[in-house]
Amino acid sequence: MKAPMPSIRRLARGALLLILPFLVSHCAKNPPPAVRNLGQEEMSKAQDLHDYWSHKKPKLPEELPDERLVALGDLALENRNFEGSLVNYLQVLKDHPERYDLHYKVGVIFLMSGKLEAAQKELALVLVHQPAMLQAHEALGLVFLQGKQYPLAIDEFQYVLAQDPRRAKTHHLLGVTFLEAGWPDRAITELQKATTLDPRHLSSFIVLSQAYLKQKDYHHATAILKQAQTLAPENQKINLMLGQALSGQKLYPQALTAFLKAGDEAQAYNNIGVYYFMDGRYEEAAKCFQRAIELRPTFYQEAKNNLQRALEKLQESRKDGS
């Protein structure tokens, strides 16, 4: 029997959605670092990829000015209409392949679409020609994060922070990477910086509390989650994690209150029952599982299984005590 825990992978994927507007902004003001050259074969593959998508795009009913096409592409990207964005961006790139700002956006589209190899090639092409574009380094870091290539993702995010150490979202992404790679202590360091630099960025508080939970530092997790509650009092994920943090401190009544605020009463009683069970308090666990079944009698198989295990343990403990 396992206690309910939030998914680190889900938090990592959520980071992608949270920073989409940040990725689409492609202005860079930092001095250029050394150019990272692609091999001839990689350059050829990137061009082949671009040609492939160029041939797939439908023809527009009429020719529009380039900046009008770009504006339409940006609007489509903002609305997550990736195909519409590609149609407009590639129409411009057909005549202006030197528009690396658009190559960057095409790379972001591939990233958001889950086409990681295509995104990596497009972003690498951008960085050959615009190595100072920190947003492209961040997007490439996200490609590596999504592909579980953690050392490469860390390199990209750390490079960006070496140029601009006050980029809160980059600290956030680096923290997510460290956490997913199994280094919660390093994740905490980065996420603390992220929350200091941007105290309104809810996701950083959530991932920071996840890192503390991973270390079983329930006291700090609780403190961070209560800070997060000031930003989003009704957020179900925050209340679920707060229930876990309070349960870790054996503050079960308060934990149940938090679990109940997470949205599902039956699940709340099952969750707190799991913690009672792990604490060896089988009678309390059985009562919680029974309550969950009463709330959802025809559906809640998990609670039924948990109740059976709790009753078996309770019977065993009573025999041992007799």
Tens of pLDDT, residue by residue over 90-99, are 888 888 999 9
**C-alpha distances in angstroms, 144 versus 26, 102, 170, 237?**
19, 21, 14, 26
Residue range 47-54: mean pLDDT, rounded: 55
What pLDDT is recorded for position 165?
97
* DSSP conformational letter for 3: -
* Backbone φ, ψ for residue 123 (5° rounding): -70, -35
Phi then psi dihedrals of residue 34, to 5 deg: -65, 140
CB-side neighbour CA atoms (13 Å) of 203: 19
Choose the weakest-confidence range: 57-61, 89-93, 123-127, 200-204. 57-61
On whether the 264-322 domain is CATH 1.25.40.10, my answer is: yes
**Residue 38 pLDDT class (50, 70, 90 cuts):** very low
One-letter-per-residue 3-state SS of 237-291: HHHHHHHHHHHHCCCHHHHHHHHHHCCCHHHHHHHHHHHHHHCCCHHHHHHHHHH
Q: How many CB atoms lie within 10 A of CB 106?
A: 27
- With H, G, I as helix, E, B as strand and everything else as coil, classify residue 57: coil
Least confident window among 74-88, 95-109, 244-258:
74-88
Query: How far out from the chain centre does Cα 7 lie?
Result: 9
| Phi-psi region at 182: left, alpha or beta (left = phi > 0; alpha = psi -120 to 50) | left
pTM: 0.79
- 162 Cβ contact partners less than 8 Å away, ≥ 6 residues apart: none
Average pLDDT over residues 13-23: 55
Q: Lowest mean pLDDT: which of 26-30, 216-220, 253-257?
A: 26-30
Residue 296, pLDDT above cutoff 60: yes
Write out pLDDT tens, residues 183-222: 999 999 999 999 999 999 999 999 999 999 999 999 999 9
% of the chain beyond a pLDDT of 70: 80
Q: Which of 2, 22, 18 is nearest to 10 (CA)?
A: 18
The band of 31, judged by pLDDT with boundaries at 50, 70 and 90, is very low
Instruction: Answer yes or no: is pLDDT of 251 > 80.
Output: yes
Determine the average pLDDT of the residues in 24-29. 40
CA gap 74, 168 in Å, rounded = 24
pLDDT digit string, tens, across residues 159-188: 999 999 999 999 999 999 999 999 999 999
Instruction: Give residue 274's pLDDT.
Output: 95
